[in-house]
Structure 1
Amino acid sequence: MADITKITVKLWTASDAGAGTNGFVYLGVAGREFHLETSRDDFEAGDKYTYVFGDGANVAEAARNDPRLPALQTGDADRYSIYLRFEGTDNDDDWCLEGVTVTINPGGSDTRTYDNERLVGTGANQKIWLGQRYGKIIHLHRI
């Protein structure tokens, strides 16, 4: 078990009509939530981006979204569910997620990677709509 010093989240928003959002996306890992947001226009249709928490952070409010404060450990990632949670700006704000990969301590001590195999590929049945009327959370598992 090692301290979590960095988390990367590779997200792909589908390019379908209406797939993008101005809503809020959160990562749940090691018993804590982190807010995925940068200074760019996040979660637009067709967008692919890697969010970084901790060492080399590129997210907004990096100091308050740091897995080192308080210190989290890789064992905590096995103890608690790993998930993405979407909160739209209103009842009609939806988001279509095409893919996600979360890596804890990439290239470092005790690297762990998580995804959802149902979102691997490019078929119409390999993406998920999240929103007030469909559900807001997708869980990931270790690969």
Structure 2
Amino acid sequence: MTPPTDTTTGTSSTPITPATETFELRFTSTPRGARLARRLASHCLDSWGCEHGTTVNENAALVVAELAANAVTHGAVPGRDALLRLVRADGRLRIEVTDTRGERHPAPTAAVDDAETGRGLLIVDTLAETWGVTPRTGAPGKTVWAVLPLDCP
């Protein structure tokens, strides 16, 4: 499945406005930075009322983990950080991970049965209502985003 992308405006086909709560974190383009992004996203959701251990928190953590891991594995440029942004609004959570490599666009693929990698975007595709890729405006790179239902206080 190819994710929907609106390259003319740089927005998803399901915009979330107005933002009620936002969390942003710049993280190093390293595996350690990706782990930090996942852990802090889970902590942020807990502080927003989506407690640790709930399905909502765990699904969001999985999506952040995959997008952050892809950013540091396939989108890293030495000396450049990645950006995690969470936006909570209208009963949804928009997760955005921005990296500085615009020429590589992710797409879900079927992994070979015994492969240790290649299934992450299938997880994102399953858990998200919608997801996609938009070019970064004003700088090289791209933002990979996903929208999840957020049924917590």
Shared fold per TM-score greater than 0.5: no
The alignment's TM-score, normalised by the length of structure 1, stands at: 0.30
The alignment's TM-score, normalised by the length of structure 2, stands at: 0.28
Higher RCO structure, 1 or 2 (CA under 8 Å, sep 6+): 1
* Higher-helix-fraction structure: 2
